[in-house]
Chain A
C-alpha cells in the first residue's frame, strides 16, 4: 500500500508514458504489416498483370505488355466471360431471391409466434451455413443421381419421369441454386430474426394505441425498421453469389457440366489462372468481376436509399 503512494522513479515514468503512447500503434501494426505483404502488394501486382501477358512459368520480369487486350478479349464475343457472368447472375438470382422470400417469413414466424423456441430453431437452421461445401456437394450429388438418387425416387413415387438434375444443361442452374439456397437460407433467417428482435415493442404498442391492424403494423413498422438488416443481408448475398465457386466446382467438375451451364465466372477465372496459367488474362477478368460486384452493390444501395426517401 505504502509503495503505491510514493512516486515512481522518473525513468520508469517516462517509459510508462512512452509505451502508453506507442502501444496502440504496436497493437494495430500486425494488420498493416500483413496487409502490405498479402494485400496491397498482391493487389497492385494483379492490376499490373491485368495489362500483361504472363505465365508464372516464365518467371518474374518476363512479362509482355499488351495494354487493354486482356480486357477487350474478355469483353469480346468469342470468349466465355459473358457466358459465365450470365450463368453466375442466373444462379445467383435463382438461389438469392428465394433465400430472402423464405427467410423473412420464417424469421417472422419464429419471432411472432414461436418465440420460446427461437434458440432451437435458429441453431438448426444455422447448421447448413457452417458446413463444408465440398462434403455437402457430394451428398447433394448423390441425391441428384439420375437413376438411383432419392430425388428421382420421390418423383417416381408420384408417377413423374426422372430428371437429369446435373446432366441436363437447362436443369443445372436450378440444381446448383438449390444447394446454395439450402446453405444460406438459415443464415438469412437468423439475420432477419435478430433484426426483428432489435425493433422495440414500444413502437408496436404506440401503433396499437393509434388503431393500426396487423397488416399495417407489418407494412409501416416492421418492414421500414428492418431495412438496414435487409440491406446488409442483400449485400452479403450479392457479394457471395457473384463469387460462387465451390458448389458448382464440386457438383459439375471444373468445366461446369454439360454445355458449361454451371460454369461460374469464379470457376472460369480459376481455370484460366491455374489450369491454363494465363495469369494476366485471369487478373483482368477478376477485375472485371470486381467491377460487376461493385455495380451490383451500387444498384442495391440505390434501391434501398431511394426507397428510404419515399417513406
Chain B
C-alpha cells in the first residue's frame, strides 16, 4: 500500500476526465440498453394501468399513456369489493411489523456479538451463520404444521412476521457493521457514566448505526412486502387478512385467464410496486453499499 507511488495514479485520472468522448459511444449504448431493459416493464405497467380494460391488449400495443387511470382505479375497487385499500394496509402492516422487530432484535444480537466477550461467543455465532445454509424451502412444510397444528396461527398475519424477527442474515450484517464502525471506547465511556447495558445500546449504539439500520430496514421491508409464498402457505386469504400479492394472484387467476379486467389488474400491479419504488429510490445508494460491503467481508 505504501510502497507504490501515489502520484502515478493522478495523471491517469486526469486523462480519464473527459468522459463524453466518441470512443465511449459503444459502451454508453450497451449501458443505456441495459438500463432501458431494466426499466421498461415498470414503464409498461403504468401505461397499461392508464388504458381502458378492453384496450390493454390491442394490436399494435399501446406504448403511451391513456386517460383511464381513474376508471381503472374505480374498477379495481368494485372488483375487490372495496378491499384493495385493506389489502394495501395488510401488506403494509406485515412489512412494518417485520421491519421494526427485525431491526431491533438483529441489531441487539449483532451488538452483543460485536462488542461483548462472553463464553461460547464463537460457537454460538458460527451456529447462527450455519442456519443460513438451510434452504428456506425445507422449512415451508414443517413451519406450516407448527402454525397449523401447534400454534393455530394459520390465517393470521403474525405467522408471516414473527418467525423472522431475529434472523441470521440481519445479525451477521449488524455484527459486521458494528465491529468496524463502532469504537469500543464509546461503550466503555457510556458505562462509566452509569448507563445500563441496554441503555447504552438504546442511547449510544442505535443512533450511531443508522446507515446499516437503513440497509437492513429496506431489505426487510421489501422482502416482507413481496412475500407471496409465505402468504399463500399461511392462507392469508380472508378479506381482512389478504395481502397484495395474494390478491394479484387471485385476480389474475394464473396468467392465462382471459375473463378478467386487465385495466384493474394493472392498477393493482402498480399499487403493489409503487411503495417498493418509493422506498428504494430514497435509499438505493445506502442499500447497495450496505449489502455489498456485507458481502465482501469474510
Contact = CB atoms under 8 A, between A and B. Distances in A.
Interface of A: 4, 8, 19-21, 23-25, 27-28, 30-31, 34-35, 37-39, 41-43, 45-46, 49, 56, 59-60, 102, 106, 109-110, 113-116, 119, 121-128, 130-145, 147-150, 153, 166, 182, 186, 190-191, 193-195, 198, 200-202, 205-206, 228-229, 232, 239, 242-243, 245-246, 250-254, 266, 269-270, 273-274, 279, 282-283, 286-287, 289-290, 293
A269 B136 CA distance: 13
Given A135-B273, A148-B61, A269-B137, A45 B142 contact: yes
A138 B118 contact: no
B146 A37 contact: yes
Nearest to A45: B142
A20 B145 CA distance: 39
B166 A127 contact: no
A262 to B, nearest CB: 11
A28 B194 CA distance: 23
Q: Which 3 A-B pairs have the closest CB atoms?
A: A42-B142, A141-B255, A194-B292
B58 A148 contact: yes
Nearest to A253: B254
Contact of A134 (B56, B124, B248): B248
Contacts of B198: 23
Nearest to B44: A139
A121 B36 CA distance: 11
Interface in B237-251: 244-245, 248-249
B292 A190 contact: yes
Given A109-B31, A131-B276, A132-B276, A283 B141 contact: yes
Given A140-B41, A191-B295, A194-B293, A287 B288 contact: no
A227 to B, nearest CB: 12
Given A106-B30, A114-B27, A166-B256, A145 B118 contact: no
Given A127-B42, A205-B9, A286-B140, 19 more contacts: A4-B192, A27-B108, A38-B162, A42-B143, A46-B138, A46-B141, A110-B31, A124-B38, A127-B277, A131-B42, A132-B276, A142-B56, A144-B255, A194-B289, A194-B295, A229-B296, A250-B249, A270-B229, A289-B135
Given A106-B31, A286-B141, A60 B292 contact: no
Given A138-B255, A253-B256, A145 B57 contact: yes
A248 to B, nearest CB: 10
A286 B140 CA distance: 9
A138 B270 CA distance: 11
A145 B232 CA distance: 26
Contact of A31 (B57, B61, B171): B171
Contacts of B144: 56, 273-274
A250 B255 contact: yes
B274 to A, nearest CB: 10
B145 A279 contact: yes
A283 B128 CA distance: 23
B245 A134 contact: yes
Contacts of B19: 114, 116
Interface string B139-153: 111111110110000
B292 A191 contact: yes
Contacts of B44: 139, 142-143, 150
User: Which bracket fits the contact residues of B?
Assistant: 35 or more
B34 A106 contact: yes
A270 to B, nearest CB: 7
5 contacts: A45-B142, A56-B145, A134-B272, A143-B41, A289-B135
Contact of A28 (B109, B162, B165, B167): B109
B93 interface: no
A46 to B, nearest CB: 4
Given A19-B196, A25-B118, A56-B149, A138 B265 contact: yes
Nearest to B60: A153
B284 interface: yes
Interface in B251-298: 252, 254-256, 262, 265-266, 269, 272-273, 276-277, 280-281, 284-285, 287-289, 291-293, 295-296
A30 B163 CA distance: 10
B222 A293 contact: no
Contacts of A130: 222, 276, 280
Contacts of B34: 102, 106, 125
A239 B112 contact: no
Interface in B190-219: 191-194, 196-198, 201
B83 to A, nearest CB: 17
Contacts of B60: 153
B116 interface: yes
Contacts of A136: 41, 273
Nearest to B104: A30
A43 B142 contact: yes
A242 B137 CA distance: 10
Contacts of B35: 121, 124-125
Given A35-B131, A147-B59, A139 B141 contact: no
B146 A41 contact: yes
Contact of B295 (A56, A201, A232, A293): A232
Given A39-B131, A106-B31, A252-B255, A20 B197 contact: yes
